[in-house]
């Protein structure tokens, strides 16, 4: 059995910087026509010059592949002139609450001060991507942040807001209430719960933020995705860290999933007899929501055993050593 997926899109991808950027970019983008690249580097990508520099670094590594990076800029108080200059160089602006995840220390602490920038984003039709968590109790952080998402949606009805990597039933309810709110969902939040992470021996390569949640949350997300919810897109939130940062005290948050995402999703959708919905989840919905016209890139998958490598360079992927029932057989680069 074989399937062909056309122009897969990863709507949330971390490519890091320096040696990590060089090591994981090709494995991360091989199966995708385009990806939304996150800006939370050690020195956040928050100016036009930084966006252009980062894009050039990425393009130098992918020049022989059919792939387009969709750049983002780290949210701060921007002037209208700055955002006008940025508009043709970025896909979206990414908002991080301060300290909620990797290299987000320069994120937003005072949410009363963000509205002038949101007004300009709305005017210029630049999407806002949101890592929606507080610094509260870990299982409640996403739920606690939802009133802020609702406030933004209510006050800026023409601003396209994407709740990134949603992990709870509560986020799905908010998604239904507002026409201008959309969402991405990861592989790990469709497959796993907190019990998989910490119910036995701790599984550091499954540790991410937002943390995987309760079985009812996973089931709600799975039901929505398999039903073809038109406001939900695939975003891997693939977030590599070197082995000494994952299998260590103070384990870093992030699952490295981009190189294995399509075989994992094919297996999941086939198991639930929903293979006809996979194309929209990994490309169609994002094209419709954002008006994207991605590069033509057919990716063919074959139902054959595929053993996930133990490492990609210095990075251990999610499900390392596990055998999946699907593999990527060819790519239309």
pLDDT at position 76 over 90: yes
Q: Which domain holds residue 227?
A: 2-331
For 106-119, what is each residue's pLDDT tens digit? 999 999 999 999 99
Task: Determine the average pLDDT of the residues in 307-318.
Answer: 95
Domain with 73 in it: what CATH number?
3.20.20.140
**pLDDT tens-place string over residues 21-64:** 999 999 999 999 999 999 999 999 999 999 999 999 999 999 98
Closest CA to 259 of 81, 8, 89, 44: 8
Above pLDDT 90, what percent of the chain?
98
Question: Would residue 237 show up in a list of annotated catalytic residues for this protein?
Answer: yes
- 3-class secondary structure, 19: helix
For 153-179, the pLDDT digits (tens) are 999 999 999 999 999 999 999 999 999
Q: In what order do the strands lie in the sheet with 128-130?
A: 9-13, 34-37, 68-74, 92-95, 128-130, 161-163, 181-185, 232-234
Measured between alpha carbons, how far is residue 58 from residues 28, 51, 52, 256 in Å?
12, 11, 10, 18
Structural domain count, the chain? 1
Distance CA 27, CA 136 (A): 35
Tell me the mean pLDDT in the region 209-229.
Answer: 98
* Calpha distance 16→31 (Å, rounded): 18
Among the listed residues 46, 237, 280, 333, the single catalytic one is 237
């Amino acid at each position: 059995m074989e399937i062909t997926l056309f122009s897969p899109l990863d709507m949330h991808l971390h490519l890091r910087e320096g040696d990590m950027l060089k090591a994981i970019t090709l494995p991360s983008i091989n199966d995708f026509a385009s990806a939304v690249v996150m800006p939370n580097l050690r020195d956040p990508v928050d100016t036009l010059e930084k966006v252009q520099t980062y894009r050039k670094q990425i393009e130098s590594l992918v020049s022989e592949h059919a792939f387009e990076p969709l750049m983002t800029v780290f949210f701060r108080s921007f002037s209208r002139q700055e955002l006008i200059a940025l508009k043709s160089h970025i896909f979206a602006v990414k908002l991080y609450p301060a300290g909620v995840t990797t290299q987000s220390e320069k994120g937003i602490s005072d949410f009363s001060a963000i509205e002038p920038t949101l007004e300009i984003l709305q005017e210029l039709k630049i999407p806002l991507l949101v890592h929606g968590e507080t610094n509260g109790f870990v299982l409640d952080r996403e739920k606690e942040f939802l009133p802020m998402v609702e406030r933004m949606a209510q006050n800026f009805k023409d601003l396209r807001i994407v709740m990134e990597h949603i992990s709870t039933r509560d986020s799905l309810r908010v998604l239904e209430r507002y026409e201008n709110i959309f969402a991405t969902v990861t592989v790990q939040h469709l497959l796993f719960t907190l019990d998989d992470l910490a119910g036995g021996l701790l599984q550091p390569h499954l540790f991410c933020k937002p943390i995987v949640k309760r079985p009812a949350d996973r089931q709600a997300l799975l039901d929505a995705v398999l039903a073809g919810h038109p406001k939900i897109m695939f975003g891997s939130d693939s977030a590599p860290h070197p082995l000494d940062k994952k299998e260590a005290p103070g384990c870093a948050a992030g699952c490295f999933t981009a190189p294995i995402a399509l075989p994992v999703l094919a297996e999941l959708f086939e198991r639930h007899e929903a293979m006809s919905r996979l194309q929209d989840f990994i490309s169609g919905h994002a094209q419709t929501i954002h008006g994207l016209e991605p590069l033509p890139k057919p990716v063919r998958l074959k139902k054959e055993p595929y053993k996930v490598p133990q490492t990609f360079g210095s990075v251990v992927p999610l499900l390392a050593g596990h055998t999946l029932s699907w593999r990527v057989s060819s790519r239309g680069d």
